[in-house]
Amino acid sequence: MNNAKGIYGCHNHTFYSEDSNGDPARLCAEAVRSGLAGIAITDHFDTEFLARRDQVGYIRRSLETTRRLQRAYAGQLRIFTGVEVGSAVLYPEGIRPLLATEDFDIVIGSVHTVRYPGWILPFSRIDFTPFTEAQIHDFLYQYFIDLQETADTTDFDVLAHLTVPLRYIIGKYRKPVDMNRYQLQVRRILQTIVDKGIALEVNTSGVGGTFDAFMPERDIVQQYLDMGGRAITLASDAHIPENATHGLAEGAAMLRSLGVTEACYYRNRKPVYYPLPDV
Ligand SMILES: [Zn+2]
Ligand SMILES: [Zn+2]
Protein backbone atom coordinates (compact mmCIF):
# COMPACT_ATOMS: atom_id res chain seq x y z
CA MET A 1 0.00 0.00 0.00
CA ASN A 2 1.59 3.28 -0.97
CA ASN A 3 -1.16 5.67 -1.87
CA ALA A 4 -0.78 8.45 0.65
CA LYS A 5 -2.57 11.00 -1.50
CA GLY A 6 -4.32 13.68 0.53
CA ILE A 7 -2.63 12.79 3.82
CA TYR A 8 -0.65 15.22 5.98
CA GLY A 9 2.64 13.80 7.23
CA CYS A 10 3.13 15.56 10.53
CA HIS A 11 6.60 14.36 11.59
CA ASN A 12 9.71 14.48 9.37
CA HIS A 13 13.43 14.99 9.85
CA THR A 14 16.16 16.57 7.76
CA PHE A 15 19.91 17.08 8.04
CA TYR A 16 19.28 19.58 10.83
CA SER A 17 18.63 16.51 13.00
CA GLU A 18 21.67 14.64 14.30
CA ASP A 19 20.42 11.29 13.01
CA SER A 20 19.38 12.36 9.50
CA ASN A 21 21.13 13.28 6.27
CA GLY A 22 17.87 14.11 4.54
CA ASP A 23 17.79 17.11 2.24
CA PRO A 24 14.69 19.17 3.11
CA ALA A 25 14.18 20.24 -0.52
CA ARG A 26 14.18 16.59 -1.61
CA LEU A 27 11.75 15.76 1.19
CA CYS A 28 9.33 18.35 -0.20
CA ALA A 29 9.84 17.14 -3.76
CA GLU A 30 9.09 13.57 -2.64
CA ALA A 31 5.97 14.74 -0.79
CA VAL A 32 4.69 16.48 -3.94
CA ARG A 33 5.53 13.50 -6.12
CA SER A 34 3.56 11.15 -3.87
CA GLY A 35 0.54 13.43 -3.54
CA LEU A 36 0.79 14.28 0.15
CA ALA A 37 -1.40 17.26 1.02
CA GLY A 38 1.20 18.64 3.40
CA ILE A 39 4.17 17.93 5.62
CA ALA A 40 5.62 19.28 8.83
CA ILE A 41 9.38 19.52 9.23
CA THR A 42 10.05 18.58 12.84
CA ASP A 43 13.78 18.32 13.45
CA HIS A 44 15.08 16.98 16.74
CA PHE A 45 15.63 19.08 19.80
CA ASP A 46 16.93 16.42 22.19
CA THR A 47 17.67 17.91 25.57
CA GLU A 48 20.29 15.28 26.43
CA PHE A 49 22.57 16.73 23.70
CA LEU A 50 22.27 20.37 24.73
CA ALA A 51 25.74 20.47 26.27
CA ARG A 52 27.55 19.30 23.15
CA ARG A 53 25.38 20.37 20.22
CA ASP A 54 24.05 23.80 19.26
CA GLN A 55 20.49 22.56 19.10
CA VAL A 56 18.98 26.03 19.18
CA GLY A 57 21.10 26.97 16.15
CA TYR A 58 20.10 23.82 14.25
CA ILE A 59 16.41 24.40 14.90
CA ARG A 60 16.66 28.04 13.86
CA ARG A 61 18.29 26.97 10.59
CA SER A 62 15.66 24.26 10.13
CA LEU A 63 12.96 26.92 10.56
CA GLU A 64 14.61 29.30 8.09
CA THR A 65 14.84 26.52 5.51
CA THR A 66 11.25 25.47 6.13
CA ARG A 67 10.04 29.04 5.58
CA ARG A 68 12.03 29.28 2.35
CA LEU A 69 10.50 26.00 1.16
CA GLN A 70 7.01 27.22 2.11
CA ARG A 71 7.49 30.08 -0.35
CA ALA A 72 9.03 27.86 -3.02
CA TYR A 73 6.21 25.29 -2.81
CA ALA A 74 3.28 27.71 -2.40
CA GLY A 75 0.25 26.28 -4.18
CA GLN A 76 1.84 22.84 -4.52
CA LEU A 77 2.41 21.56 -1.01
CA ARG A 78 1.54 22.84 2.43
CA ILE A 79 4.64 22.88 4.61
CA PHE A 80 4.54 23.46 8.35
CA THR A 81 7.22 24.55 10.78
CA GLY A 82 7.87 22.24 13.68
CA VAL A 83 10.17 20.68 16.21
CA GLU A 84 10.35 17.34 18.03
CA VAL A 85 11.30 17.98 21.65
CA GLY A 86 12.92 14.84 23.03
CA SER A 87 13.21 13.89 26.70
CA ALA A 88 12.32 17.36 27.95
CA VAL A 89 12.16 16.08 31.52
CA LEU A 90 15.97 15.84 31.53
CA TYR A 91 16.26 19.59 31.07
CA PRO A 92 12.85 21.29 31.03
CA GLU A 93 14.28 24.78 30.53
CA GLY A 94 16.06 23.79 27.32
CA ILE A 95 13.31 24.38 24.79
CA ARG A 96 11.67 27.42 26.41
CA PRO A 97 13.73 30.16 24.69
CA LEU A 98 12.91 28.70 21.27
CA LEU A 99 9.20 28.33 22.00
CA ALA A 100 9.15 31.90 23.30
CA THR A 101 10.84 33.47 20.27
CA GLU A 102 9.89 31.35 17.25
CA ASP A 103 6.54 30.56 15.66
CA PHE A 104 6.00 26.85 15.29
CA ASP A 105 3.03 25.21 13.65
CA ILE A 106 3.60 21.96 15.53
CA VAL A 107 5.58 20.93 18.60
CA ILE A 108 5.96 17.19 19.10
CA GLY A 109 6.78 15.69 22.50
CA SER A 110 8.68 12.44 22.83
CA VAL A 111 11.04 10.41 24.99
CA HIS A 112 14.18 8.96 23.38
CA THR A 113 16.33 8.78 26.50
CA VAL A 114 14.99 7.19 29.68
CA ARG A 115 16.16 8.12 33.19
CA TYR A 116 17.29 4.54 33.77
CA PRO A 117 20.45 4.44 35.90
CA GLY A 118 23.56 3.62 33.91
CA TRP A 119 21.79 3.90 30.56
CA ILE A 120 20.86 7.54 30.19
CA LEU A 121 21.37 7.72 26.45
CA PRO A 122 19.02 7.35 23.47
CA PHE A 123 17.60 3.83 23.60
CA SER A 124 18.16 3.52 19.87
CA ARG A 125 21.85 3.20 20.87
CA ILE A 126 21.41 0.78 23.78
CA ASP A 127 22.40 -2.86 23.27
CA PHE A 128 19.57 -4.64 25.09
CA THR A 129 21.16 -8.09 24.60
CA PRO A 130 22.43 -8.45 28.21
CA PHE A 131 19.27 -7.03 29.78
CA THR A 132 17.35 -9.49 31.94
CA GLU A 133 13.58 -9.69 31.80
CA ALA A 134 13.44 -7.73 35.08
CA GLN A 135 15.72 -5.02 33.70
CA ILE A 136 13.64 -4.73 30.54
CA HIS A 137 10.59 -4.34 32.74
CA ASP A 138 12.25 -1.68 34.92
CA PHE A 139 13.40 0.15 31.81
CA LEU A 140 9.94 0.23 30.24
CA TYR A 141 8.32 1.12 33.55
CA GLN A 142 10.66 4.11 33.78
CA TYR A 143 10.03 4.99 30.11
CA PHE A 144 6.32 5.37 30.81
CA ILE A 145 7.05 7.38 33.98
CA ASP A 146 9.19 9.75 31.88
CA LEU A 147 6.51 9.96 29.20
CA GLN A 148 3.87 10.74 31.84
CA GLU A 149 6.04 13.48 33.30
CA THR A 150 6.61 14.85 29.80
CA ALA A 151 2.86 14.96 29.22
CA ASP A 152 2.30 16.57 32.63
CA THR A 153 4.97 19.24 32.46
CA THR A 154 6.06 20.02 28.89
CA ASP A 155 4.49 22.42 26.41
CA PHE A 156 3.77 20.38 23.27
CA ASP A 157 0.93 19.58 20.86
CA VAL A 158 1.34 15.95 19.81
CA LEU A 159 2.55 12.90 21.74
CA ALA A 160 4.93 11.01 19.46
CA HIS A 161 5.37 7.25 19.04
CA LEU A 162 3.99 6.22 22.45
CA THR A 163 5.42 2.68 22.32
CA VAL A 164 8.71 3.36 20.52
CA PRO A 165 11.09 1.43 22.84
CA LEU A 166 9.35 -1.75 21.65
CA ARG A 167 10.77 -1.12 18.22
CA TYR A 168 14.23 -1.81 19.65
CA ILE A 169 13.46 -4.21 22.49
CA ILE A 170 11.11 -6.46 20.50
CA GLY A 171 11.97 -5.55 16.91
CA LYS A 172 15.75 -5.43 17.09
CA TYR A 173 16.66 -7.49 20.17
CA ARG A 174 13.79 -9.98 20.07
CA LYS A 175 13.05 -9.65 23.79
CA PRO A 176 9.49 -10.51 24.85
CA VAL A 177 7.39 -7.73 26.37
CA ASP A 178 4.00 -8.11 28.04
CA MET A 179 2.33 -4.75 27.42
CA ASN A 180 -0.41 -5.66 29.94
CA ARG A 181 2.09 -4.74 32.65
CA TYR A 182 1.99 -1.11 31.49
CA GLN A 183 -1.74 -0.88 30.96
CA LEU A 184 -2.33 1.48 33.87
CA GLN A 185 0.56 3.73 32.92
CA VAL A 186 -0.58 3.90 29.29
CA ARG A 187 -4.13 4.62 30.40
CA ARG A 188 -2.99 7.49 32.57
CA ILE A 189 -0.87 8.98 29.79
CA LEU A 190 -3.84 8.77 27.41
CA GLN A 191 -6.12 10.39 29.99
CA THR A 192 -3.60 13.21 30.43
CA ILE A 193 -3.38 13.97 26.72
CA VAL A 194 -7.16 13.77 26.32
CA ASP A 195 -7.61 16.19 29.24
CA LYS A 196 -4.95 18.58 27.91
CA GLY A 197 -6.11 18.41 24.28
CA ILE A 198 -2.81 16.92 23.12
CA ALA A 199 -3.03 14.85 19.94
CA LEU A 200 -2.02 11.21 19.69
CA GLU A 201 0.43 10.44 16.90
CA VAL A 202 0.08 7.25 14.91
CA ASN A 203 3.70 6.69 13.93
CA THR A 204 4.02 4.47 10.87
CA SER A 205 7.82 4.30 10.58
CA GLY A 206 7.92 0.68 11.75
CA VAL A 207 5.41 -0.66 9.23
CA GLY A 208 6.95 -3.47 7.19
CA GLY A 209 10.17 -3.53 9.24
CA THR A 210 11.50 -5.83 11.96
CA PHE A 211 8.96 -4.34 14.38
CA ASP A 212 6.06 -4.39 11.99
CA ALA A 213 3.57 -2.33 13.99
CA PHE A 214 2.07 1.08 14.41
CA MET A 215 3.34 3.08 17.36
CA PRO A 216 1.07 2.90 19.23
CA GLU A 217 -0.82 -0.14 18.05
CA ARG A 218 -4.49 -0.22 17.15
CA ASP A 219 -5.76 -1.27 20.60
CA ILE A 220 -4.16 1.78 22.24
CA VAL A 221 -5.63 4.08 19.56
CA GLN A 222 -8.99 2.46 20.32
CA GLN A 223 -8.56 3.24 24.03
CA TYR A 224 -7.71 6.85 23.25
CA LEU A 225 -10.90 7.15 21.18
CA ASP A 226 -12.97 5.44 23.89
CA MET A 227 -11.64 7.99 26.39
CA GLY A 228 -12.87 10.85 24.21
CA GLY A 229 -9.64 11.54 22.33
CA ARG A 230 -10.19 12.98 18.89
CA ALA A 231 -7.01 14.62 17.62
CA ILE A 232 -4.81 12.11 15.77
CA THR A 233 -1.87 12.83 13.48
CA LEU A 234 -0.27 10.48 10.98
CA ALA A 235 3.51 10.40 10.97
CA SER A 236 6.00 8.52 8.82
CA ASP A 237 8.81 10.04 10.96
CA ALA A 238 10.93 10.08 7.80
CA HIS A 239 14.69 10.49 8.29
CA ILE A 240 15.30 10.20 4.53
CA PRO A 241 13.13 11.83 1.84
CA GLU A 242 12.25 8.43 0.35
CA ASN A 243 10.34 7.60 3.55
CA ALA A 244 8.08 10.65 3.41
CA THR A 245 4.98 8.48 2.91
CA HIS A 246 6.20 5.31 4.61
CA GLY A 247 3.24 3.50 6.18
CA LEU A 248 0.88 6.48 5.99
CA ALA A 249 -1.69 4.74 3.80
CA GLU A 250 -1.65 1.74 6.17
CA GLY A 251 -2.07 4.10 9.12
CA ALA A 252 -5.04 5.79 7.46
CA ALA A 253 -6.61 2.38 6.75
CA MET A 254 -6.13 1.33 10.38
CA LEU A 255 -7.81 4.54 11.59
CA ARG A 256 -10.66 4.05 9.17
CA SER A 257 -11.13 0.51 10.48
CA LEU A 258 -11.71 2.09 13.90
CA GLY A 259 -14.36 4.38 12.48
CA VAL A 260 -12.10 7.42 12.43
CA THR A 261 -12.94 9.65 9.47
CA GLU A 262 -10.71 12.65 10.21
CA ALA A 263 -7.10 13.13 11.17
CA CYS A 264 -5.45 16.46 11.84
CA TYR A 265 -2.43 18.53 11.05
CA TYR A 266 -1.26 21.53 13.06
CA ARG A 267 -1.13 25.14 12.06
CA ASN A 268 -0.07 27.82 14.56
CA ARG A 269 -0.12 25.08 17.17
CA LYS A 270 -3.82 24.38 16.67
CA PRO A 271 -5.28 21.20 15.20
CA VAL A 272 -6.94 21.43 11.80
CA TYR A 273 -9.06 18.43 10.88
CA TYR A 274 -9.14 16.97 7.39
CA PRO A 275 -11.03 13.98 5.99
CA LEU A 276 -8.96 10.82 5.84
CA PRO A 277 -8.79 9.73 2.21
CA ASP A 278 -10.14 6.33 1.23
CA VAL A 279 -7.11 4.11 0.84
ZN1 LIG B 1 11.15 10.52 17.99
ZN1 LIG C 1 11.18 11.84 14.98
Chain CA centroid to CA 5, Å: 20
| Domain residue ranges in the chain | 8-275
52 band by pLDDT with thresholds 50, 70 and 90: confident
What integer pLDDT is reported at residue 279 of this predicted model? 66
Going from the Cα of 146 to the center of ligand 2, the distance in angstroms, rounded, reads 17
pLDDT mean over 117-124 = 93
84 band by pLDDT with thresholds 50, 70 and 90: very high
Going from the Cα of 42 to the center of ligand 1, the distance in angstroms, rounded, reads 10
What integer pLDDT is reported at residue 99 of this predicted model? 94
Ligand nearest the Cα atom of residue 110: 1
Going from the Cα of 12 to the center of ligand 2, the distance in angstroms, rounded, reads 6
Parallel, antiparallel, or unpaired: how do β-strands 78-86 and 38-46 relate?
parallel
Distance CA 262, CA 49 (A): 36
pLDDT at 3 over 90: no
pLDDT at 1 over 70: no
Report yes or no: 215 and 162 within 8 Å, Cβ to Cβ: yes
Distance CA 161, CA 269 (A): 19
Ligand nearest the Cα atom of residue 215: 1
48 band by pLDDT with thresholds 50, 70 and 90: confident
Going from the Cα of 279 to the center of ligand 1, the distance in angstroms, rounded, reads 26
The structural architecture, per CATH, of the domain 8-275 is Alpha-Beta Barrel (3.20)
pLDDT per position as a tens digit, 220-271:
999 999 999 999 999 999 999 999 999 999 999 999 999 999 999 999 999 9
